[in-house]
């Protein structure tokens, strides 16, 4: 049950309502009741947020919780706990399970498991194609009726041009977005890391930037032709940013996202041959990082998603060339963005909150992303000044692998409130 909460003394940042000031916020019956209330009953629990940032709860556009089928990597319960620790109040759950989420029963399974886990709101991304094979459309209408909020085969890209076109046309009936991870498989097959000088020196097969660039070019052209809702992400290349910027300048309403690791670490980390740096999208060169940072700051890239792709410890202990892509990132997303992005020109805390909360809510069409009176009381409280060192072994996720292990980061989530209920408290 939710309780009445009064959060006082904090810096309230709500980009949706252009609020950035010290204010109090009252939460009653799981809803935002008032900003700067004058009369508050004596039985209200007060939370002192002095020196902290109070924001709408974060929303992730694509996490892998791996259940059913790959519970050794992550379960819905463990993934939910990790999300709450990272300040996420809602997540969109990818369809990369076994069986995959291509039927109403599979959607319902995930939703029921999420209810049992409690806490974070888990929204389901339904498969775009049957069995994620890329040949035939899944039953998009039935998935919508079962509660799916988007369609995607991610992290597997949609390689069938005709299928993507039909999906964008059909999904317009339900006003749901198609999410595609851009990748031309014939160009990237067998790749281990960014195709650059470091890969050449190390003798490792590269993942060329043109594999992403060409896929983005195709996707945006089909989206323009169909008028469908397309979200591209996560992206990682200068070419992708250039294409997205030009298409947006023409008024085509596509959206895009990026992962935190693409905003800070470069491909030189792979010199260690440590599989924790084998992530997807891969760590690119410094020039790509700088371009992505600028694109986040100026809004070309709408949102930041965690890129949470957990893989079991024993899988990530394999040699680099056979170890799977993936890492746990829900618990470090906010801190990574704050540490590496707030020093970027034109970037500030309001934009950080927008990219993590307001924009994802708009893209996914789910509740949240603002703290207007009468909206759901999903709130994240942040200590913007605390410094802490990342230890993957301390994660709530089942996956301890993170490319940021050992890094000192600034800022950390200290409390996550979902529906007016305190679900995570690290204060």
Per residue in 344-366, pLDDT (tens digit) is 999 999 999 999 999 999 999 99
Residue 288 clears pLDDT 70, i.e. is over it: yes
Residue 341 clears pLDDT 90, i.e. is over it: yes
> Which tokens sit at 109?
């399974």
pLDDT of residue 39: 85
pLDDT tens digits, 166-198: 999 999 999 999 999 999 999 999 999 999 999
pLDDT of residue 132: 94
3-state secondary structure the chain: CCCCEEEEEEEEEEHHHCEEEEEEEEEECCEEEEECCCCCCCCCEEEECCCCEEEECEEEEEECCCCCCCCCCCCHHHHHHHHHHCCEEEEEECCCCCCCCCCHHHHHHHHHHHHHHCCCEEEEEECCEHHHCCCCECCHHHHHHHCCCEECCCCCCCCCHHHHHHHHHHHCCCCCCEEECCCCHHHHCCCCEECCHHHHHHCCCEECHHHHHHHHHHHHHHHHHHCCCEEECCCCCHHHHHHHHHHHHCCCCCEEEECHHHHCCCHHHHHHCCHHHCCCCCCCCHHHHHHHHHHHHHCCCCEECCCCCCCCHHHHCCCCCCCCCCCCCCCCHHHHHHHHHCCCCCCCHHHHHHHHHHHHHHHHCCCCCCCCCCCECCEEEEEEEEEEECCHHHCCCCCCCCCCCCCEEEEEEEEEEECCEEEEECC
Res. 285 pLDDT band, cuts 50 70 90: very high
Residue 205 clears pLDDT 80, i.e. is over it: yes
Mean confidence (pLDDT) of the chain? 96
pLDDT tens digits, 123-133: 999 999 999 99
Average pLDDT over residues 211-216: 98
pLDDT of residue 250: 92
Q: Which residues of 105-117 are buried (b: 16+ CB within 10 A; e: fewer)?
A: ebbebbbebbeeb
- Percent above pLDDT 90 for the chain: 97
Res. 43 pLDDT band, cuts 50 70 90: confident
Res. 1 pLDDT band, cuts 50 70 90: low
Residue 227 clears pLDDT 70, i.e. is over it: yes
Average pLDDT over residues 274-280: 97
pLDDT tens digits, 124-163: 999 999 999 999 999 999 999 999 999 999 999 999 999 9
Average pLDDT over residues 61-65: 97
All domains of the chain, ordered by start, with CATH?
5-53+377-390+404-425 (2.30.40.10), 58-364 (3.20.20.140)
pLDDT of residue 137: 96
Res. 232 pLDDT band, cuts 50 70 90: very high
Residue 2 clears pLDDT 80, i.e. is over it: no
pLDDT of residue 92: 98
pLDDT of residue 327: 97
Average pLDDT over residues 24-42: 93
């Amino acid at each position: 049950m939710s309780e009445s909460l009064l959060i006082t003394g904090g810096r309230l940042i709500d980009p949706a309502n252009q609020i950035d000031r010290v204010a109090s916020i009252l939460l009653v019956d799981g809803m935002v009741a008032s900003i700067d209330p004058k009369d508050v009953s004596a039985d209200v629990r007060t939370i002192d947020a002095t020196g902290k940032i109070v924001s709408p709860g974060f929303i992730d556009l694509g996490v892998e919780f791996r259940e059913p089928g790959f519970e050794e990597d992550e379960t819905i319960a463990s993934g939910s706990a990790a999300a709450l620790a990272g300040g996420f109040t809602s997540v969109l759950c990818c369809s990369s399970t076994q069986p995959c989420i291509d039927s109403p029963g599979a959607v319902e399974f995930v939703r029921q498991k999420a209810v049992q886990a409690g806490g974070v709101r888990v929204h389901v991304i339904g498969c775009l194609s049957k069995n994620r094979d890329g040949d035939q459309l899944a039953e998009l209408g039935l998935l919508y009726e079962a509660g799916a909020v988007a369609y995607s085969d991610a992290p597997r890209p949609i390689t069938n041009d005709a299928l993507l076109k039909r999906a964008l046309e059909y999904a317009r009936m339900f006003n749901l977005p198609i999410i595609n991870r851009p990748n031309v498989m014939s160009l990237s097959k067998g790749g281990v890391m960014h195709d650059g000088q470091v890969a050449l020196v190390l003798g490792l097969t590269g993942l060329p930037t043109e594999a992403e660039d060409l896929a983005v070019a195709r996707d945006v052209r089909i989206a323009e032709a169909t008028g469908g809702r397309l979200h591209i992400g996560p992206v990682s290349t200068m070419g992708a940013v250039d294409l997205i910027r030009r298409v947006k300048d023409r008024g085509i309403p596509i959206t895009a996202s990026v992962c935190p690791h693409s905003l800070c670490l470069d491909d030189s980390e792979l010199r260690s041959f440590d599989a924790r740096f084998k992530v997807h999208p891969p760590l690119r060169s410094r020039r790509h990082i700088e371009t992505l940072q600028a694109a986040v700051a100026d809004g070309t890239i709408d949102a930041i998603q965690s890129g949470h792709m957990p893989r079991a410890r024993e899988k990530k202990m394999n040699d680099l060339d056979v170890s799977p892509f993936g890492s746990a990132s829900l618990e470090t997303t906010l801190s990574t963005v704050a540490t590496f992005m707030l020093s970027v020109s034109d970037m500030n805390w309001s934009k950080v909150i927008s990219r993590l909360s307001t924009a994802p809510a708009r893209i996914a069409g789910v509740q949240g992303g603002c703290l207007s009176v009468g909206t759901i009381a999903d709130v994240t409280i942040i200590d913007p000044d605390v410094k802490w060192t990342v230890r993957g072994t301390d994660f709530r996720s089942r996956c301890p692998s993170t490319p940021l292990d050992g890094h000192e980061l600034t800022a950390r989530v200290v409390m996550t409130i979902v529906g007016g209920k305190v679900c995570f408290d690290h204060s």
